[in-house]
Amino acid sequence: MNMNDILRIAIQKSGRLSEDSLKLIKECGIRFDNGGGKLKTAATNFPAEILFLRDDDIPGYVEDGVAHLGIVGENVSEESDRDVDTVHKLGFSKCRLSIGVLREQEYHGVKDLDGKSIATTYPRLLDKYLKEHNVTAQIHEISGSVEIAPSIGLADAVCDIVSSGSTLLSNGLKEVETIFRSEAVMIASKHLSPGQQELLDQLLFRIKSVQVAKNNKYILLNCPTTAVDEIIKYLPGMRSPTILPLATEGWCSLHSVINENEFWENIEKIRQAGAEGILVIPIEKMIL
Ligand code: PRT
Ligand code: ZN
């Protein structure tokens, strides 16, 4: 690797992605000083610099190679249509791009949008969706407050980002079509040097270890030795669970890793099988 190889990572300066983006970089063990609202900061223990930008500018900077990596919503990256690689899904800032119409309006299907006008800040994604569904509608591109467009007579429908749905609801709208599902993604320049590619691989390895760890818990419990076989069935850990004898005759302590998703269902079965003193501990990193 060339000594001069460095990765410039663009993240959102302030907004919905900022906190999770910073947290992810920190969880990957990359330390830097981000005080004072700076636009750029250098990592102290990894050859990286962090650039703080508006999210809309990130795909363009990555395409141009000003930044080598960026963290943005897939919605922004796809809408920008920039020539970048999406290298990894990050699992946060999940949302959807949906079409909404006034609640009192009858709606039977996407064909009802024929001849209508739709306000959006996502003209490209909307256009693609309408073409795929053979619908001819007028796209009204506006820069913000999309959700009020129907009630002030500016458009018949909206196409906007939805997460809980409460913004649509409070503006008298109902969600009728989901056209795109989004989450934060890592995008990369297509022109990385071999050294930068190596750094990116290191970073992705760390990100994956953090993500796997989040989906798993370390579990410790005490149980009668006779219940071990039954309990082990519910602990499909990395390898076979660790079993240690306890001072109390006929009892042991059992340690394993359990998947978060199967957690509650299995915990109940484990308890019924005779487990006591169950401890569930978060895992910081998990190297597979
Ligand atoms: O200043 P800058 O340009 O950097 O930020 P921004 O204002 O453009 O973006 P920001 O911070 O609002 O959002 C960044 C990214 O977060 C988006 O591109 C999405 O990928 C993601 N995201 C996740 C969301 C939402 N959830 C979200 N709920 N982005 C926007 N919203 C808005 C939406 O526009 C609507 O006004 O929240 C409202 C809907 O929310 P609910 O919960 O009422 O449905
Ligand atoms: Zn933005």
pLDDT in tens, 253-271: 999 998 877 778 888 999 9
- pLDDT, tens digit, for every residue of 181-233? 999 999 999 999 999 999 999 999 999 999 999 989 999 999 999 999 999 88
pLDDT the model gives residue 239: 66
- For residues 124 and 252, state if they share a domain: no
Do residue 86 and residue 129 come from a single domain?
no
Per the CB < 8 A criterion, the answer to whether 113 and 155 are in contact is no
**158 within some domain:** yes
Mean pLDDT of 156-177: 98
Supply the pLDDT for residue 38: 85
Domain assignment of residue 288, yes or no: no
pTM of the model: 0.91
Domain that residue 266 falls in: 216-282
Q: Please report whether residue 2 resides in a domain.
A: no
Task: Give the Å distances, CA to CA, from 67 to 36, 188, 219, 232.
Answer: 21, 8, 41, 48
Which positions ≥6 away from 79 have C-beta within 8 Å? 122, 123, 124, 125
Specify whether 107 is located in the same domain as 225. Answer: no
- Asked if 11 and 88 sit in the same domain, the reply is yes
Looking at the structure, tell me whether residues 70 and 195 fall in a common domain: yes
Average predicted confidence (pLDDT) for the chain: 94
Q: Are residues 174 and 107 in the same domain?
A: yes
Q: Which burial class, exposed, middle or buried, applies to 238 when counting CB atoms under 10 A from its CB (0-12, 13-18, 19+)?
A: exposed
Domain contains 36: yes
Asked whether residue 46 falls in the same domain as residue 101, the answer is: no
Per DSSP, 241 falls in state P
pLDDT, average across residues 100-116: 97
Whose tokens are 């609801």? That residue is 169
143 CB under 6 A from ligand 1? no
Q: Are residues 124 and 225 in the same domain?
A: no
Pocket flag, ligand 1, residue 173 (CB < 6 Å): no
Residues 173 and 189 grouped into a single domain: no
User: Is 33 domain-assigned?
Assistant: yes
Nearest Cα residue to atom 7 of ligand 1:
15
At residue 1, the pLDDT reads: 63
Query: Which residue has the CA at smallest separation from atom 1 of ligand 1?
Result: 54
Q: Is 181 left (phi over 0), alpha (psi -120 to 50) or beta?
A: beta
pLDDT digits (tens, 9 = 90+) for 29-72: 999 987 777 899 999 999 999 999 999 999 999 999 999 999 99
Instruction: List the residue whose alpha carbon is closest to atom 31 of ligand 1.
Output: 161
- Angle formed at CA 152 by CA 147 and CA 155, multiple of 5 degrees: 65
- Predicted confidence at residue 236, as pLDDT, reads 75
pLDDT grade for 237, boundaries at 50, 70 and 90: low
Q: Are residues 237 and 276 in the same domain?
A: yes
Number of domains, the chain: 3
- 119/162 same-domain check: yes
User: Is the CB of 216 within 6 Å of ligand 1?
Assistant: no
